[in-house]
């Protein structure tokens, strides 16, 4: 480049002859004319495309194969090697494979889709699920990451759940709305089966639980075209961003609650970062998002999935691949399961007949021993072999009570002991244990005696109304009642 500049300056500025320049720099006239015509070396220019005698006639075939691949299953599309083999075997191509690989690479670049940048007004959101590996209570497990983003402010909120399903879909929305302090006007989704039950052309038939969510918060839903995730590319990008920046290396937490506290704090801290191309921080732009949002409803939203089931002969109800007990009176009867993230409620008619902690594994059985006491009262011989009572941590006073009852009453004492246990259907274990200790101390060990103690101890004394703080009531005088009428009744009863 130094010699190029020097030659141009000498000829065009100093007036040195071209002949002397050719002689001194040992260049030809054609090269000199190129230097004088161009401020910088133009590089190699190919005047005529190189001929492709071997491959040229097959370039159209390559394009046809790649076009047909667009509708083929992703795992059954042509590789460059397979295209070469087909050209050789089916079309008589006699060239080398490297030429085919290069042609395939160029053709794929030409066919790559180009996207139009989308406009994101304030108050619009995108929602999606991702996944990551996290250690929870010492166990490495995959978790579902519910992510809601606001493209205008670039704010995002991430929450983690055991699995992607209807109730965690609900919980992810509720957590995102609470974090932003409002409900986005419109939220974009892919065509997840949680929200979309059927696609008919451009129309979506929505699931009942999604419509319940939408009806409660009143936001507008937008569903991307099938296999067009670029229409919600903001949330797609942030799934990877959050995973790389918040969950690397693989973190460890005692519970999902601790994990979600960490994620919420990280999302809040991210609000004070400025995004490239935007002069304000995310927190400042989030205020504009909030101004365009809907307000949060006054009523709380119930996060749950509803399923119909029937209790089997073991008084167990199956929900989400796990079994939960109900009182034996409901065996063989239909029930309704309301599954939340933390809790499962089982309803018969309008009554909640059982409440359990929700399991997220599979093939687990959860018993509430109290559900089987009514049956054991009729079958006392099964008391010591009943699986629902295995590992039931009763205080030591219950074992003492059982020994005394069976010593005094024989086999009938076992049934009396079960009657005492059934008092836990109305009282807590702590209340019943306290009553049993009192009963043992006074020697009144029957179920009726323990019941009397339990409910006597739970009664609250009647409180007297105080006039303190009510001076306007002190001026009122209430005459004492006349009890003479009761005396008259007493006399009448005595004479009769």
Whether 238 and 313 share a structural domain: no
User: Quick check: is 473 in a domain?
Assistant: no
Please report the pLDDT score of residue 267 as a whole number.
Answer: 94
**Residues 451, 423: contact at Cβ < 8 Å?**
yes
**pLDDT of 423-443, one tens digit each?**
998 888 999 999 999 999 998
Please report the pLDDT score of residue 52 as a whole number.
Answer: 64
Whether 147 and 281 share a structural domain: yes
Whether 143 and 279 share a structural domain: yes
Whether 249 and 360 share a structural domain: no
- For residue 256, the tally of other CB atoms under 10 A from its CB is 19
User: Quick check: is 134 in a domain?
Assistant: yes
Handedness of CA 353, 355, 356, 362 (dihedral sign): positive
Whether 20 and 159 share a structural domain: no
User: Quick check: is 278 in a domain?
Assistant: yes
SS3 at position 308: strand
Please report the pLDDT score of residue 318 as a whole number.
Answer: 96
**pLDDT of 21-66, one tens digit each?**
888 888 888 888 888 888 888 776 666 666 666 788 888 889 999 9
Q: Six-digit token pair at 277?
A: 């191309």
401 upstream amide cis, omega within 30 of 0: no
Please report the pLDDT score of residue 236 as a whole number.
Answer: 87
User: Quick check: is 373 in a domain?
Assistant: no
Please say if the pLDDT value at position 155 is more than 60.
yes
Please say if the pLDDT value at position 492 is more than 70.
no
Please report the pLDDT score of residue 35 as a whole number.
Answer: 85
Choose one of 87, 111, 135: the last residue of a domain: 111
Whether 394 and 255 share a structural domain: no
| Antiparallel, parallel or unpaired: β 322-325 and 316-319 | antiparallel
Whether 212 and 330 share a structural domain: no
**pLDDT of 224-247, one tens digit each?**
877 665 567 788 888 898 999 999
Please say if the pLDDT value at position 307 is more than 70.
yes
Angle 320-324-325 from CA coordinates, rounded to 5°: 155
Whether 244 and 326 share a structural domain: no
Q: What is the pTM of this model?
A: 0.71
Please report the pLDDT score of residue 467 as a whole number.
Answer: 66
- Measured CA to CA, the distance from residue 106 to residue 383 in angstroms comes to 77
User: Quick check: is 221 in a domain?
Assistant: yes
Q: Six-digit token pair at 116?
A: 């139009």
User: Quick check: is 485 in a domain?
Assistant: no
Domain that includes residue 345, residue range: 305-366
Rounding to the nearest 10 degrees, give the CA dihedral for residues 93, 94, 98, 99. -60
Tell me what the mean pLDDT of segment 81-103 comes to. 90
SS3 at position 270: helix
Tell me what the mean pLDDT of segment 352-372 comes to. 93
SS3 at position 53: coil
Please say if the pLDDT value at position 327 is more than 80.
yes
Arithmetic mean of pLDDT over the chain: 88
User: Quick check: is 493 in a domain?
Assistant: no
**pLDDT of 172-227, one tens digit each?**
999 999 999 999 999 999 888 999 998 887 788 999 999 999 999 999 999 887 76
Whether 258 and 209 share a structural domain: yes
Please say if the pLDDT value at position 297 is more than 70.
yes
Tell me what the mean pLDDT of segment 444-462 comes to. 81
**pLDDT of 382-422, one tens digit each?**
999 999 999 898 999 999 999 999 999 988 999 999 999 99
Whether 219 and 282 share a structural domain: yes
Please report the pLDDT score of residue 493 as a whole number.
Answer: 54
Structural domain count of the chain: 5
Whether 189 and 139 share a structural domain: yes
Whether 90 and 132 share a structural domain: no
User: Quick check: is 102 in a domain?
Assistant: yes
Please say if the pLDDT value at position 495 is more than 60.
no
Please report the pLDDT score of residue 32 as a whole number.
Answer: 87
- Tracing tokens 């809040």 back to the chain, one arrives at 268
């Amino acid at each position: 480049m130094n010699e190029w500049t020097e030659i141009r300056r000498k000829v065009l500025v100093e007036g040195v002859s071209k002949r002397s320049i050719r002689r001194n720099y040992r260049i030809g006239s054609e090269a000199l004319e190129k230097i004088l015509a161009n401020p910088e070396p133009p590089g190699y220019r190919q005047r005529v495309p190189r001929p492709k005698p071997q491959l040229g006639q097959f370039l159209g075939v390559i394009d046809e194969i790649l076009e047909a691949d667009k509708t083929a299953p992703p795992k059954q599309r042509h590789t460059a090697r397979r295209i070469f083999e087909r050209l050789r075997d089916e079309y008589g191509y006699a060239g080398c494979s490297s030429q085919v690989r290069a042609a395939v690479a160029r053709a794929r670049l030409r066919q790559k889709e180009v996207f139009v940048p989308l406009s994101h007004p304030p108050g619009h959101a995108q929602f999606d699920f991702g996944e990551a590996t996290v250690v929870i209570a010492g166990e490495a497990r995959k978790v579902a990451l519910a992510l809601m983003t606001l493209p205008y402010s670039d704010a995002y909120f991430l929450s983690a759940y055991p699995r992607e399903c209807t109730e965690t879909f609900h919980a992810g929305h509720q957590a995102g709305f609470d974090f932003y302090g409002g409900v986005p006007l419109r939220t974009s989704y892919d065509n997840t089966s949680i929200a979309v039950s059927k696609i008919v052309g451009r129309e979506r038939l929505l699931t009942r639980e999604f419509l319940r969510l939408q009806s409660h918060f009143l936001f507008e839903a937008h569903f991307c075209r099938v296999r067009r995730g670029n229409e919600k590319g903001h949330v797609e990008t942030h799934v990877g961003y959050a995973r790389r920046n918040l969950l690397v290396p693989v973190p460890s937490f005692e519970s999902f609650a601790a994990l979600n506290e960490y994620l919420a704090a990280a999302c809040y801290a991210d609000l004070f970062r400025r995004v490239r191309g935007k002069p304000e921080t995310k927190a400042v732009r989030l205020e504009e998002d909030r101004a365009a949002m809907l307000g949060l409803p006054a009523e709380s939203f119930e996060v749950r999935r509803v399923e119909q089931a029937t209790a089997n002969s073991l008084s167990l109800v199956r929900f989400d691949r796990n079994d939960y007990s109900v009182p034996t009176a409901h065996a063989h009867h239909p029930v309704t399961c309301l599954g939340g993230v933390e809790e499962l409620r089982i309803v018969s008619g309008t009554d909640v007949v059982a409440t359990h902690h929700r399991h997220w594994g599979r093939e687990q059985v959860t018993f509430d021993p109290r559900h089987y006491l009514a049956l054991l009262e009729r079958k006392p011989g099964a008391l010591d072999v009943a699986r629902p009572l295995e590992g039931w941590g009763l205080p030591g006073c219950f074992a003492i009570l059982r020994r005394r009852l069976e010593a005094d009453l024989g086999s009938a004492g076992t049934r009396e002991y079960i009657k005492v246990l059934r008092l836990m259907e109305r009282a807590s274990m702590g209340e019943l244990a306290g009553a049993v200790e009192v009963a043992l101390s006074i020697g009144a060990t029957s179920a009726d005696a323990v019941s009397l103690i339990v409910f006597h101890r739970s009664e609250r004394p009647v409180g007297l109304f105080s006039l303190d703080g009510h001076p306007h009531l002190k001026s009122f005088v209430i005459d004492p009642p006349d009890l003479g009428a009761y005396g008259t009744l007493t006399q009448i009863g005595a004479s009769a």
